[in-house]
């Protein structure tokens, strides 16, 4: 007999939930409910998550109304211990029978790997799903990513916000449940103002009933896209284009249940303030969407999203305009005030701001970065004087009122203030570019000077924080060192600056305050950066084995070339993998390295092979092929053309295969054996000029 199935609806009504966390709370709640059903063995179909500022909900299709029956098999005491000499059951047998809920004579004798034992076989009826749901909901709520839970009133319940109603319906049946001290019902609530009354709902009509008559768009994605359409339409209606950032759009969707987009305006005089400050004020403080004209410049307009369909929309617009004016006035005031003090006059004040206790102040850090910038400017093709000047000014905008109010404008405002101060254009631009890439997917600095500062700034931070024992552990990375490391290697890679990592980090270590052993951190920091680079390449579709093959020969702390050279080797290995000989040569190289290791002969320590000692045509042919390849490959490697080098080495596949097919490497004659080992060492060394191809995919 097939168990009955019904659609399930669970909704938890709350006070306004944290907007930036709402989407994750929604997804996790739905996933945890589905996982709880799975754990309980309750069959179900697809689930769908819903969330608004005042609710978390999930519907799950075709949920079995009870668990399946479960076959129980238990092994008890050994038969020899279960009965006495007269065949009467012992206490062990009686206790086992009681634990199974049956008499001793209902037990069976079963054969196990430990001999004959008493056993029990039975069927445990499945429980009703309705009886399981309260526990499943409690468990799902307990597992939500809520850093701090709150209590309210005299209740012992705790959640991210106070809760007000609970809906649990399986089909048309209201499931009796108590969660967070709330008794379940079959009624949701509509919009706080438009329809505060109760609304009977089921899984089948949940979204439709909340929308009409409830004035609630329950589906998060639907609401977000509806907001996008409204905002864009409102901007078009005033002759502009809305600037819609996805993270702001998602946050606004988490703030409203019935969105209504309205266009407003502000005094055009505010446009004299850098537009980034105006945009930050509109987006960050008011959650407004800026509007741009056809030329891409900011218009004195914005689009706000109300959570109400007002009978007097003009009054709502006027209210938003009143609110934004003092915000923009503050930005204008900061702009005017900050420009009274040139950035250069703020440098000494950096000495009053601690960067890190053991590493000194921002003045100390600026001095270290300036020294690094001065040293490596030629390698980056940057002007030395401008590099030093930019390094000293890079942190000064932190002391401005604008950046104090809008921390996200660090660097951006430095660029504006530097231009106002008459600093050279490259210096001003570098004050912003030093922070690039700011986040994943962001571009690196466009100028060589900007990339130089980005590398020097991050190198000082990485070595310094490692030296004071604050390297990242697990998921904790309070100084953002993982992001800093990736930004550093990307700046070198995408700027094609072939500066060895060890040179940069050794110089940074030399600049650290006395008492800190920066030199001991150079190798760990290089390894840390290469691990970030490995993750970057993995995201780009490069197999981990390819990265490992290159790192084995070009990723050490003593590597004389930089990240662009590393990248050329890696791309060459990828191209090599597409060749039909790749798998065979990778396997051959692994075999060679195993033979050399087991023979006790260190790689590269053997003398050149002696052609006079070769006994077979196959070893003579391989030696001649390797010698010919060495000449060409050496030139190609020195020119950095690693792809051509591996392509040429691929031609060794046939003589290598014939060698292993006909030649016994570990010959009894020691001189012959060592000569053959020397040949293999020479062959391996040719490939190691590019990468350790034995680690490439395809080798066993």
Residue 506 near residue 519, CB atoms below 8 Å:
yes
C-alpha to C-alpha distances, 525 to 352, 367, 467, 502, 505, nearest whole angstrom: 29, 21, 10, 9, 8
Which is nearest to 215 in space by CA: 60, 61, 54?
54
> Looking at residues 631-660, what average pLDDT do you find?
93
Indicate if the alpha-carbon torsion angle 576, 578, 580, 583 is positive or negative.
positive
Indicate if the alpha-carbon torsion angle 370, 374, 379, 383 is positive or negative.
positive
pLDDT in tens, 515-561: 999 999 999 999 999 999 999 999 999 999 999 999 998 877 777 78
> Looking at residues 386-391, what average pLDDT do you find?
98
Q: What is the pLDDT of residue 158?
A: 95
Residue 31 near residue 73, CB atoms below 8 Å:
no
**Whole-number Å distance between alpha carbons of 601 and 584:** 24
> Looking at residues 436-452, what average pLDDT do you find?
95
- pLDDT of 286 > 80? The answer is yes
C-alpha to C-alpha distances, 358 to 72, 291, 470, 471, 472, nearest whole angstrom: 64, 46, 11, 14, 17
Q: Contacts for 95-104 with beta carbons within 8 Å, 24 or more apart?
A: 96/120, 100/74, 100/76
pLDDT in tens, 632-645: 999 999 999 999 99
Q: What is the pLDDT of residue 698?
A: 64
Read off the DSSP letter of residue 547: H
Query: 328-342, 449-463, 487-501, 673-687: which range is least confident on average?
Result: 673-687
> Looking at residues 366-377, what average pLDDT do you find?
98
Q: How confident is the model at residue 699 (pLDDT cuts 50, 70, 90)?
A: very low
Name the percent of the chain lying above pLDDT 70: 98
Residue 469 near residue 488, CB atoms below 8 Å:
no
DSSP for 38-91, please give it: HHTT-----EEEEEETTEEEEEEEEEESBPPPEEEEEEEEEHHHHB-TTS-B-H
**Whole-number Å distance between alpha carbons of 31 and 680:** 56
Length of the chain: 700
> Looking at residues 474-486, what average pLDDT do you find?
91
pLDDT in tens, 561-605: 899 999 999 999 999 998 988 888 888 888 888 888 888 765 557
C-alpha to C-alpha distances, 394 to 48, 153, 227, 369, nearest whole angstrom: 49, 50, 39, 10
pLDDT in tens, 52-89: 999 999 999 999 999 998 888 888 999 889 899 888 99
Residue 356, helix vs strand vs coil:
strand
The residue to which tokens 């995408």 are assigned:
494
> Looking at residues 612-626, what average pLDDT do you find?
90
Give me the residues paired with residue 150 across strands.
159
As given in the structure block, the two tokens for residue 297 are 């410049």
Q: How confident is the model at residue 1 (pLDDT cuts 50, 70, 90)?
A: very low
Q: How confident is the model at residue 268 (pLDDT cuts 50, 70, 90)?
A: very high
As given in the structure block, the two tokens for residue 373 are 């910038």
pLDDT in tens, 147-156: 899 999 888 9
Q: How confident is the model at residue 700 (pLDDT cuts 50, 70, 90)?
A: very low
As given in the structure block, the two tokens for residue 415 are 């660029």
User: What is the pLDDT of the chain when averaged over all its residues?
Assistant: 94
């Amino acid at each position: 007999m097939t168990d009955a199935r019904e659609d399930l609806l669970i909704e938890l009504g709350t006070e306004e939930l944290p907007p930036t966390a709402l989407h994750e709370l929604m997804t996790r709640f739905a996933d945890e409910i589905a996982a709880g059903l799975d754990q309980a063995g309750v069959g179900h179909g697809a689930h769908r998550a819903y969330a608004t500022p005042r609710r978390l909900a999930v519907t799950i299709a075709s949920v079995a109304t009870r668990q399946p029956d479960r076959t129980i098999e238990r092994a008890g005491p050994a038969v020899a211990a279960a009965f006495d000499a007269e065949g009467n059951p012992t206490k062990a047998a009686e206790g086992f029978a009681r634990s199974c809920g049956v008499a001793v004579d209902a037990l069976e004798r079963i054969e196990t790997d430990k001999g004959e034992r008493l056993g029990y076989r039975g069927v445990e009826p499945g429980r009703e799903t309705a009886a399981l749901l309260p526990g499943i909901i409690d468990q799902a709520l307990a597992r939500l990513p809520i850093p701090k839970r709150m209590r309210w009133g005299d209740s012992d319940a705790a959640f991210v916000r106070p809760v007000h109603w609970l809906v649990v319906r399986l089909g048309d049946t209201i499931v009796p449940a108590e969660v967070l001290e709330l008794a379940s019902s079959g009624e949701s609530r509509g919009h706080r103002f438009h329809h505060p009354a109760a609304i009977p709902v089921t899984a089948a009509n949940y979204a439709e009933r909340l929308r009409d008559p409830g004035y609630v768009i329950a589906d998060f994605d639907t609401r977000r896209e509806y907001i996008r359409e409204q905002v864009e339409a409102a901007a078009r209606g005033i002759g502009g284009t809305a600037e819609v950032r996805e993270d702001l759009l998602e946050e606004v969707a988490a703030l409203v249940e019935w969105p209504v987009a309205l266009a407003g305006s502000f005094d055009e005089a505010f446009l004299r303030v850098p537009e980034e400050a105006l945009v930050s004020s509109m987006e960050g403080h008011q959650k407004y969407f800026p509007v741009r004209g056809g030329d891409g410049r900011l218009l004195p307009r914005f689009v706000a999203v109300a959570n109400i369909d007002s009978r007097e929309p003009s009054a709502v617009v006027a209210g938003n305009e009143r609110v934004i004016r003092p915000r923009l006035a503050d930005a204008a005031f900061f702009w005017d005030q900050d420009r009274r003090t040139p950035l250069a006059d703020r440098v000494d004040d950096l000495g009053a701001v601690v960067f890190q206790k053991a590493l000194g102040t921002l003045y100390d850090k600026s001095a270290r970065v300036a020294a690094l910038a001065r040293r490596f400017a030629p390698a980056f093709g940057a002007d030395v004087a401008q590099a030093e000047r930019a390094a000293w000014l890079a942190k000064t905008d932190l002391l401005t009122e604008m950046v104090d109010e809008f921390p996200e404008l660090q660097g951006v405002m430095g660029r504006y203030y530097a231009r106002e101060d008459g600093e050279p254009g490259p210096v001003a631009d570098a004050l912003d570019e030093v922070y690039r890439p700011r986040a994943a997917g962001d571009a690196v600095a466009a100028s060589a000077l900007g990339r130089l500062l980005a590398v020097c700034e991050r190198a000082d931070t990485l070595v310094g924080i490692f030296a004071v024992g604050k390297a990242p552990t697990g998921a904790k990375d309070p100084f953002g060192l993982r992001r800093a490391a990736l930004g550093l290697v990307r700046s070198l890679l995408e700027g094609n600056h072939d500066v060895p990592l060890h040179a940069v980090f050794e110089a940074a270590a030399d600049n650290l305050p006395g008492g800190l052993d920066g030199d001991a951190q150079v190798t760990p920091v290089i390894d840390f950066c290469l691990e970030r680079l490995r993750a970057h390449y993995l995201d780009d579709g490069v197999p981990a084995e390819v990265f490992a093959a290159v790192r084995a020969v070009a990723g050490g702390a003593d590597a004389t070339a930089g990240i662009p050279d590393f990248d050329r080797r890696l791309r060459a290995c990828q191209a090599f993998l597409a060749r039909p000989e790749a798998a065979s040569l990778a396997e051959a190289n692994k075999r060679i390295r195993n033979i050399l290791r087991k023979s006790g002969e260190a790689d590269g320590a053997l003398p050149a092979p002696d052609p006079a000692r070769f006994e077979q045509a196959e070893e003579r042919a391989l030696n001649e092929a390797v010698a010919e390849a060495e000449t060409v490959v050496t030139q190609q490697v020195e020119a950095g053309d690693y792809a051509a080098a591996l392509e040429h080495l691929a031609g060794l596949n046939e003589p290598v295969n014939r060698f292993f097919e006909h030649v016994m490497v570990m010959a009894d004659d020691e001189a012959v054996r060592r000569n053959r080992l020397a040949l293999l060492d020479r062959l391996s060394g040719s490939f190691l000029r590019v990468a350790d191809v034995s680690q490439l995919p395809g080798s066993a």
